[in-house]
Chains A and B, each alone.
Chain A
C-alpha cells in the first residue's frame, strides 16, 4: 500500500488561499480573546494554576444536585461550583486571599460541606491550592520559555540550514500557537498546567513536522542542477515527497490522542482535545504556512547563496 505515490499537488501556488484561511482563523481567535477581556476580564479562562487560588473536587455519596452544594457554600457570593463529569462530583473553585494560608480554604470548604451534608457524606477526591505568587510566576515563565525556545530554534536552524529556514519555522510555530490560543479563548477552555504542557507539545510537534519538510527542501536544493529549477516547483516537489510521511505520522499520533480522548480519564479530556487540534494545525502549517513563508522570505531576502556575488541592497519588491 502506498499513500500519495507520485503526488504532485501545487501547494505553493495555492498559498494565497491558505493565507486567507490562516488570517481568518487568527482574526477569529484574536476577536475571541478581546471578547474575553471584555466579558471575563482576561484573555483566557485562566485556572487556579495561573491566578492562584484553590480547587477542591468533591465526590458525594448521594446525588444532591449542584444547587444545594452551591447553597451550602454561600450561594451566589460563594465560590464557583461546577459539576464534574460524573453525576455527583463537583469542582469548587475559591479564590485565595492575599497572605491567607492555603490550608484555610480547604478546611473552610470542608467545614461548610460537613455542616450542610453531615460528615462522611462526601470524599475529597482532588485538591489543588496555588499561591498567587506562584501563579504570576508561572505566567511569566511560560512566556519566557516559549520566547527562548524560539530564539534557540532560530539559532540552531540558522546554523544547520540557513537563517531564512529558521525564520520560516518560527513564523509557522507562532502561527500555530496563536491559532491554538485563539481556539482556547473561543471555547474558554481552562488554561491549567496540562494545557500549557499541551501547547508546548504543539510547539515541539509543529517544529518537528516543519523541519522534516525543510530538510527535504534543503536536500533537493543541494542536488545537482537544482539552482536552475524553479524554486516554487522545487519546494512543491519536496512537500509532495514528504507527504506520505506527514500523513502517516500525524495519523499515528492522532490515533493515540483520539484513544486518550475517548477512553482516557476525564481530567485529561481538555488536554487531549488541545493536542488533537494542535497536531492538525501543526500538520497544516508545515505545508501551508512554513513552506510559503520560506518562499516569501526568499522573495524579499534573495536566495541567500553565499557563493554568488554579493547583491546590492535593494528595496523589497513582490
Chain B
C-alpha cells in the first residue's frame, strides 16, 4: 500500500510554513501510530516540504490501515452556541441554496422542499409580495429574473430549514432525519451556504444516531467556529468501559500547559456546553459544571470497545495539528501482488540464464568469470537496496534490468578490448592489463552519465520513480565495482601460474 498525504488546506488559510510544520508533526505522529498498529517495515518519508509518503507492505486490511493513518484525530474543543441559528439566519441559508442551484435542480432532488407555509416562509419571501421583497432582499436573486419567477410560483421554498427539527433536549442542536442527512450534507458543503452562515458559527454533525418516535436522527450542532483548544496538548488516552451505563469511553489527559488552558477556559464558561469535536464530528457536548483540570472524557455512545481502543490509540500516538488528505493511493491485492512477484521472478531467472548462456557461449572462460562478477553484483544491489529500505517496485525492476545490462556491458567492453589487444599480437598478460586500462574511460563515462540521469530522477521524481532512481544508482555503483575489481581479481587468479604467452579462453 502506497499513500501520498498532504495537509488538508482546502480553505487555503495556511501559510507554507504552517503546512510544512503540519507535515513534520504528522510524520512523527504516523511513525508512532503505525508502530503501534504493528506493520512490519513501514516506510514513512517526507517528499518535498509538504508531502508525506507512506508505504506499508503486506497489509491485509487496507481499509483499517487507511483509517488509522488518515484518522486525523484532530481533536478540538468548541463552545456550543446555545441560541442556535435565528430564523433570519436560516432564511439566508435557504435563499443561498435556492439561488445557487435553482428551483428545478431542487425539485430534481425529489425532495419536498416546499415546507408548510409558516413563519419561516414569511421571513423568506415576504408572503404574498414575493417578487418585490425578493428584489429588495437579495440582489443576487433579483439578478436572476428566472429564479425570481420560479420562486414566485413556489413562494415557500425552504430546502435546508425544512430538514431541521429543533433538538429539544439539548440546546443549540437540530435533529436531521437519517434519510435527509445526505441532502443536508450536500447543502452544507456548498460555498454559498458557508458564506450565508454567520461568520463566527458553524454547523457540525454529531457522531451518534438518535432515535425518536421510531425514526433515526443525526444531530447537527451549532458551534462557535473558533476552537479554543486542540489536541496538541494531549498526553495520554485510555479506552474504558463505563460500568454505570456500560458504554465505551475514552479518558484523556492533558499535559501541564494544556491543563492550565483547559481549566482556565472551563472555569470561565461554567454552565455552557462544551463540544468535543473529533475530525469534524461532535463526539459529545457535555455541560460544563465546574472548572475541569487536566483530564476529560469522551463518551462513545453505542460504539464497541474496539472502536474506543482505536481512538485511544490515535489520540495517544498523537493528534495531528492539521488534518491530512490522501493525494494518491495505490494498493495491490494480495493475490495479484503474489502472482506478479512470482511471474516476475520466473522472468528474471529466465533472463539471467539467457545472459549466462550468451556470455559463456561467446566468451567461454572469461564469460564464466563475468557471471561470477554478475552474481557479486546482484548480491551488492540486493544488499544495498535492503540497506536503504527500498522496496522493489515495477520501475525498480526496470532500474535493475538496465543496470544488469550495464553490469554485463562493462565486462563486454573489457573483454572486447582484451580480444583486440590479443589480435594486435600482444602477450596474454599485457593484453589483459591493456584491456582493463583502455576500457576504463568508456566505462566511467557511460556510468557517470547514467548516474547523472539517476540523480536528476531522484530529485524530480516521486514515489515509484524515486525507487527506480535509487535502484539504478545502486546498480551503477555496484556494476562499476564488480566489473573493475571483481572481474579483474578473478582474471588475475585465472592467469596465475600461466606463462605470459599462454593463450587464454576469451
Contacts and interface: CB of A to CB of B under 8 A. Distances in A.
Given A148-B456, A245-B413, A271-B398, A196 B450 contact: no
Interface in B331-349: 331-333, 335-336, 339-340, 343-344, 346-348
A256 B405 contact: yes
A142 B457 CA distance: 8
A215 B327 CA distance: 45
A193 B453 contact: no
A153 B452 contact: yes
Contacts of B355: 252, 255-256
Contact of B408 (A249, A259, A260, A265): A249
B442 A215 contact: yes
A160 B449 CA distance: 11
A141 B462 contact: yes
A157 to B, nearest CB: 7
B362 interface: yes
Given A256-B352, A260-B347, A260-B401, A249 B412 contact: yes
A249 B405 contact: yes
Contacts of A255: 351, 354-355, 358
A198 B398 contact: yes
Contact of B351 (A1, A129, A203, A259): A259
B245 interface: no
A82 interface: no
Contacts of B456: 145, 148-149, 152
Interface in A115-156: 123-131, 133-134, 137-138, 141-142, 144-145, 148-149, 152-153, 156
Interface size class of chain A, counting residues whose CB lies under 8 Å from the partner chain? 35 or more
Nearest to A263: B347
A109 to B, nearest CB: 14
Interface in B86-126: none
A244 B411 CA distance: 13
B221 to A, nearest CB: 22
A275 to B, nearest CB: 7
B271 interface: no
A193 B463 contact: yes
A259 B347 contact: yes
A134 B327 contact: yes
A197 B454 CA distance: 11
Contacts of A137: 462
Interface stretch (A31-39, A66-74, A95-103, A298-306): A95-103
Residue of B327, B355, B397 with most partner-chain A CB within 10 A:
B327
A94 B240 CA distance: 43
Interface string B425-448: 000000000000010011001101
Given A128-B330, A149-B453, A244 B398 contact: no
A271 B346 contact: no
Given A126-B333, A131-B327, A260-B347, A197 B452 contact: no
B506 to A, nearest CB: 10
A145 B460 contact: yes
B170 interface: no
B4 interface: yes
Contacts of B335: 59, 123, 125
Nearest to A194: B394
B165 interface: no
Contact of A256 (B401, B448, B462): B401
B409 interface: yes
B420 interface: yes
Nearest to B1: A127
Interface string B171-215: 000000000000000000000000000000000000000000000
Interface stretch (B295-303, B312-320, B464-472): B464-472
B399 interface: yes
B388 to A, nearest CB: 18
Contacts of B457: 145, 149, 200
Interface of B, helix, strand, loop or mixed by DSSP? helix
Contacts of B343: 263-265
Residue of B343, B352, B402, B416 with most partner-chain A CB within 10 A:
B402
A268 interface: yes
Interface in A172-217: 193-194, 196-198, 200-201, 203-205, 207-208, 211-212, 214-216
Contact of B328 (A134, A201, A219): A134
Interface in A4-35: none
B340 A267 contact: yes
Interface string B9-29: 010000000000000000000
Given A193-B463, A208-B450, A253-B405, A216 B327 contact: no
A87 B358 CA distance: 37
B4 A134 contact: yes
A149 B397 contact: no
B409 to A, nearest CB: 4
A196 B405 CA distance: 19
Contact of B468 (A99, A157, A200): A200
A2 B456 CA distance: 38
Interface of A: 1-3, 57, 59, 99, 101-103, 123-131, 133-134, 137-138, 141-142, 144-145, 148-149, 152-153, 156-157, 160, 193-194, 196-198, 200-201, 203-205, 207-208, 211-212, 214-216, 219, 241-242, 244-245, 248-249, 251-253, 255-257, 259-260, 262-265, 267-268, 271, 275
Given A126-B332, A131-B326, A197-B394, 8 more contacts: A123-B333, A129-B326, A142-B460, A200-B465, A241-B420, A255-B358, A259-B347, A260-B401
27 contacts: A3-B362, A59-B335, A102-B327, A102-B328, A103-B326, A129-B329, A131-B328, A134-B327, A138-B462, A152-B452, A196-B465, A200-B465, A211-B445, A214-B445, A249-B405, A249-B409, A252-B405, A255-B358, A256-B354, A256-B405, A259-B348, A259-B354, A263-B347, A264-B344, A267-B336, A267-B394, A268-B344
